[in-house]
Amino acid sequence: MSKKTLPMLKTSTMKNCITLLFLLTAINLHAKHSLKIALSKISGDYASNNYVKFIQKHLPEAECINLYDKPLSELPAILQSCSGFVLTGGEDVNPARFGQAEQISLCQIDEKRDTLEFMAIQMADEIGLPILGICRGEQILNVAYGGTLIADIPLLHKSDVQVKHKDTANNNLPHAIHLDKTSLLYQITGKRQGEVNSAHHQAIDKVAMGFKASAFAKDGIIEAIERENPKGKPFFLAVQWHPERWQSKYFSDKIGKRFAKAVRKAQKVI
């Protein structure tokens, strides 16, 4: 068809097309960011952060919100707008918060983070958000609900079996775990045992009331906790390892997929 025979769009029609295109673009952008996940702390560059990549692998449409950068006064509104909450790894929980202030010299703490996370955990629980805890996240969840920690495994945990849980030269130090066959974690993974990565010197000691240990290292260290009676309650799983940087179908991908399923069920469109 020659240029002479091409139909000419009327100005009003062209304006309508542009308006429609603009509206469709706005709708697409809104849909892309309508699902929000709160993260207790995102370090470094957003796009390259391992936790963000882990979440967006299983929830590509999710926007991750860094609570650590937000004023405490904004936490209620932010969490109300979110469909899930992930507590990430990082510094030690202040031992004074679980009755062991004398162990402070063994720890590297961040009081701002402890305060923020304690508040956020309470709010997320009241709202009924699906919760996933990772490494420090597992530990502070246990403390927030009344449990205690081993302030330093090498000094304070006695076992006939030696398992190395931290190596400064290897943030993915592997070791074996075994799972409780009655647990949610077993339902998710389908595995009674496996291998996970490890980078921690603290661990859960006394499990908080209402929760149970669902995975253990060979030296008895608790590697995961979950609700004792999860029926009718929001998703809750906390693991000592780092699924966001562990290449495992069972102990990374399946956990991410189950969390994503719970988040989509709880999804809030803003």
**d(C-alpha 162, C-alpha 146), whole Å:** 28
Q: Residue for token digits 């189950």?
A: 258
- Lowest average pLDDT, out of 29-33, 88-92, 167-171, 210-214, goes to 29-33
Does residue 47 surpass a pLDDT of 90? yes
What mean pLDDT do residues 123-150 have?
98
Instruction: Check residue 176 and give its pLDDT.
Output: 98
Which residues belong to the active site?
Answer: 135, 242, 244
What mean pLDDT do residues 99-126 have?
97
**Cut 0.95: pTM above it:** no
Strands 131-134 and 236-239: parallel
Does residue 31 surpass a pLDDT of 70? no
Helix axes 50-58, 254-265, angle to 10 degrees: 70
What mean pLDDT do residues 178-188 have?
98
Question: Which CATH topology does 35-265 take?
Answer: Rossmann fold (3.40.50)
CB hemisphere CA count around 56 (13 angstroms): 15
| Best CA proximity match to 49, nearest among 34, 68, 24, 21 | 68
What mean pLDDT do residues 54-68 have?
97
Handedness of CA 156, 162, 166, 167 (dihedral sign): positive
Per-residue pLDDT band for 163 (boundaries 50, 70, 90) equals very high
Q: Where are the domains of the chain?
A: 35-265
**d(C-alpha 162, C-alpha 181), whole Å:** 24
Instruction: Check residue 8 and give its pLDDT.
Output: 46
- Lowest average pLDDT, out of 3-12, 67-76, 203-212, 249-258, goes to 3-12
What mean pLDDT do residues 229-235 have?
96
Per-residue pLDDT band for 17 (boundaries 50, 70, 90) equals very low
